[in-house]
Structure 1
């Protein structure tokens, strides 16, 4: 069996996560867009989803929707596939699925270097576990991350 090239697998994973987000959003009724916010370290993570739903007076936000639990496994695989030796992998992702003309369109953005907007900040010691799992060369460690490593 031949291995799927990383860029192709990345696209497959984004599409699969997008389908899960769309299914979760539809459980609450009509929706216009759904954004999955993911923040991850190797041993820690946060996931939130915001769904924009049409209402009689415009659009409302629904923060109660959550994707299927198996999305976590796909997110981990996506981080693995997107790892660049010496440069690390992404720390946060926003994946937005929009409904246009009856079709769902997924758009993902990845953050490799900026401090994630944690809801509950992880303990500084967890950042060293991230670098053990996804090593970065010294010139690819942002100052804020170096501070966390020194604090841990």
Structure 2
């Protein structure tokens, strides 16, 4: 198998897990949460399934050596980040509409810092021995170690094998070329790229760099309802070459989440405190391949290089906005620098009995020049 960028492989694994999980519940479910919890080298899988207002949950061990364990192990490897290690647990959330032939959407979040959420009261807890084994395979610095991990390990009389600074760099999102990533994902790209014009960003959009940096720190976020504690576990971080184009970046990232059985359109904006949002591209998921990869079409629309929109510390935040509109209209708005919005519905009668009666009377008497609202 050719080298696959970690973020693309992450999406592929999540699609494989989602297809397996979708068949585990009774048909007709509305939402399914799949909780994957690592206990050393073993895994537990829990389900919380909602039918309307009723929810049920159960949990069990993952079969050692089976395909789900292989997927879960690899998912941990590709989501490892220095210095915060690998996630202790992951939640894959599926939504289903349109039974008996449902359209299924998928989202995922990764828990790096908190003790896992246990689906049932008697679910096995992560032990001190499990945590020591984790640190031998997915090292962290002491500063990046959560308090509950320190307390559990120290209470058992054990020690964690911390790594010291300097430590190995984080996995590079941009592994391989943009062409490799495009071939792997099955991406389709615009034949025409916005012409590079000698122009200056308006003051409301201008960032701080005056020359291209060697690298850019990238933060990827998307719209959605964050957890009650305010965290955004679906955020992704990485480092890219300062020479990267918008096409390189959008192809490498792919989609912010994978629609397992459908399509989606996202407008990508540069977001920074104190600056206006800047539309930089449109990403369209068109299908899912037989290998579980999203087929993605990327459409860069910005006439400026990515580094020009980074801040003074070479940080660049991209925010994906889900836009349920025709891709042609979404693209037209993006090229004009706007995020597409659904047109307001016109011609719908107000839901007011008195007004409806007046409109009916006006229809009968077309020579009437005004409306009189009937008095009670």
TM-score (norm 1): 0.83
Counterpart mapping for 1:51-90 below 5 A: 51-53=49-51, 58-63=52-57, 69=63, 70-90=67-87
1:52: Cα distance to partner?
Answer: 1.7
Q: Give 2:154's aligned residue.
A: 150
Contact 1:31 1:51 in 2 (8 A): yes
1:146: Cα distance to partner?
Answer: 1.2
Contact 2:91 2:110 in 1 (8 A): yes
Quick one: distance in 1 between partners of 2:44 and 2:14? 18
| Structure 1 outlier segments of 4+, above 6 Å | none
Quick one: distance in 2 between partners of 1:18 and 1:4? 20
Bigger helix share: 1
Quick one: distance in 1 between partners of 2:32 and 2:91? 10
Superposed CA deviations along residues 65-84 of structure 1, whole A, max 9, x for unmatched, are 98x85322211110111112
Superposed CA deviations along residues 103-131 of structure 1, whole A, max 9, x for unmatched, are 10011111100111343223322211111
Gapped runs of 5+ residues in structure 2?
157-376
Larger-Rg structure = 2
Counterpart mapping for 1:2-151 below 5 A: 2-25=2-25, 28-53=26-51, 58-63=52-57, 69=63, 70-101=67-98, 102-118=102-118, 119-151=123-155
Q: State which drifts further: 4-13 or 84-93.
A: 84-93
**Higher RCO, 1 vs 2 (CA within 8 Å, ≥6 residues apart):** 1
1:94: Cα distance to partner?
Answer: 1.2
Residues 29/64 of structure 1: CA separation in 2 closer, same or farther (3 Å cut): farther
Quick one: distance in 2 between partners of 1:74 and 1:93? 12
Contact 1:34 1:97 in 2 (8 A): yes
Residues 64/92 of structure 1: CA separation in 2 closer, same or farther (3 Å cut): closer
Residues 61/144 of structure 1: CA separation in 2 closer, same or farther (3 Å cut): same
Superposed CA deviations along residues 49-73 of structure 1, whole A, max 9, x for unmatched, are 12222xxxx443243598x853222
Gapped runs of 5+ residues in structure 1?
none
Contact 2:43 2:69 in 1 (8 A): no
TM-score (norm 2): 0.36
Quick one: distance in 2 between partners of 1:106 and 1:83? 21
Quick one: distance in 2 between partners of 1:147 and 1:64? 29
Contact 2:6 2:78 in 1 (8 A): yes
Contact 2:13 2:75 in 1 (8 A): yes
